[in-house]
Amino acid sequence: MAGVDAAAVKAMPRPAPWQALAWRLAPFFSIGLLLIAWEALARSGTFTPFVLPAFSSVVARIWSDAITGDLLINTGLTLYRAIVGFLISAIGGVAIGMAMSRSVGVRWFFDPIISVGFPMPKIAFLPVVILWLGLYDLSKISIIVFDAIFPVVTATIAGIKGVERELLWSARNMGARDREMLWQIVLPAALPMIMTGLQVALPLSMIVAVVAEMLMGGYGIGGAMMTASRFADSPGVFAGIVEIALVGLVLVKGMTMLRRRLLIWHQEANEPTTA
């Protein structure tokens, strides 16, 4: 090394190890800070316990619900409805999208319905669905499917449309038949888009599940929160928020992990995530 002494290179400013550690711990720091601020604000008496119950009392509430079993029933039911609705939307949406891509007749019929229906607030039809299907799971799951199927259909169509011509030609060239083309070429190539559609549909299923439960009452996190708020039981309401936030977080993270698994061949190192 002519001229540059190793000492000079060593002397170059570089981040100290404790700094790297600080960046790593920052997430826990800010979440911890939020919880402490919540607790402190609630205890300071600035707000009444009705407006802002202490974090500790909300945790206590979740704990007692866990012991009585209410927690399991409520989160379980909400999850069941959201996931069943989501799965029906996923399968049905991909099927409709595929049928639309392959058949002119199907496309003619569904295209205007999808393009007009996609941006509509389908939730407004909730009272209609109740009128038709009653107050039980059937109507809750139906409204979820009605809402969540649209993004899946549009994503499937866009994904199939975006498959490169050259890819199809070379597969044909190598002797792939129609059915093989669909399962081995078209669907895998469209998978990134389809996954994006599913990643929209899943949180939507949760949102609609909660609204449906709030409006129709009964068991489920949404229903429990409405009951709590009717009895001015604000720890119950906040407990519901914390529970549903955790459930949503787990589902969305799980979906992201599934995407990474399925699309390991797809170069998308920078999946849209925040941090």
Partner 1 sequence: MKSLIRYSPLLLLALAWEAASRLELVSSLALPPLTSVLAAWFDLLINGELVSNGWASLYRGGTGLLLSVIVGSTLGIFMAWWRPVNALVGPLVELFYPMPKSALIPVTVIWLGFGDGSKILLIFLGCMLPVTIGAFNGARSSDRTLVWSARSMGASRMRMLWDVVVPSALPELLSGVRTALALTFILLVSSELIVARQGLGYLIGYLGADGAYEAMFAVVLTVAFLGFAADRAYQLLMNRMLQWRE
Partner 2 sequence: MSDSAQIVIDRVSHLYRPPRGREVLALEDVSLRVTSREFVALLGPSGCGKSTLLYLIGGFFPTEIGSILIDGQPVGGPGPDRGIVFQHFALFPWKTVRGNILYGLERQGMERGEREKRVQDFIELVGLAGFEDSYPSQLSGGMKQRTAIARTLAIDPKILLMDEPFGALDAQTRHLMQSELLSIWQRTPKTVIFVTHDVQEAVYLADRVAVMSARPGRIKTIVDTKFDKNDPNIFKAKAFVDKVDEIWNLVRVEAIKAQETRPS
Sign of the dihedral defined by the CA atoms of residues 227, 233, 235, 238, in that order: positive
Q: Please identify, using beta-carbon distances, which residue of 7 and 124 lies nearer to partner 2.
A: 7
58 Cβ contact partners less than 8 Å away, ≥ 6 residues apart: 235, 238, 239, 242
Nearer to partner 1, 40 or 167 (CB): 40
125 binds partner 1 (CB under 8 A): yes
For partner 1, which is the closer residue by CB, 91 or 128? 128
Q: Give the total of residues touching partner 2 (CB under 8 A).
A: 9
Contact 219, 74 (CB under 8 A): yes
Dihedral angle, C-alpha 203, 204, 209, 212, nearest 10 °? 150
User: What angle do helix axes 70-102 and 104-117 make, rounded to 10 degrees?
Assistant: 130
Radius of gyration of the chain (CA): 25
Question: Contact region for partner 2 (CB under 8 A) — 2-10, 72-80, 96-104, 215-223?
Answer: 2-10
Q: Which of residues 12-71 bind partner 2 (CB under 8 A)?
A: 12-14
Token code pair at residue 225 = 């929160």
Task: Please identify, using beta-carbon distances, which residue of 189 and 193 lies nearer to partner 1.
Answer: 193
The residues that touch partner 1, with contacts defined as CB under 8 A, are: 23, 26-31, 34, 50-51, 108-113, 116, 119-128, 130-132, 203, 206-211, 214-215, 221-222, 225-226, 228-229, 234, 237-238, 240-241, 244-245, 248-249, 251-253, 272-275
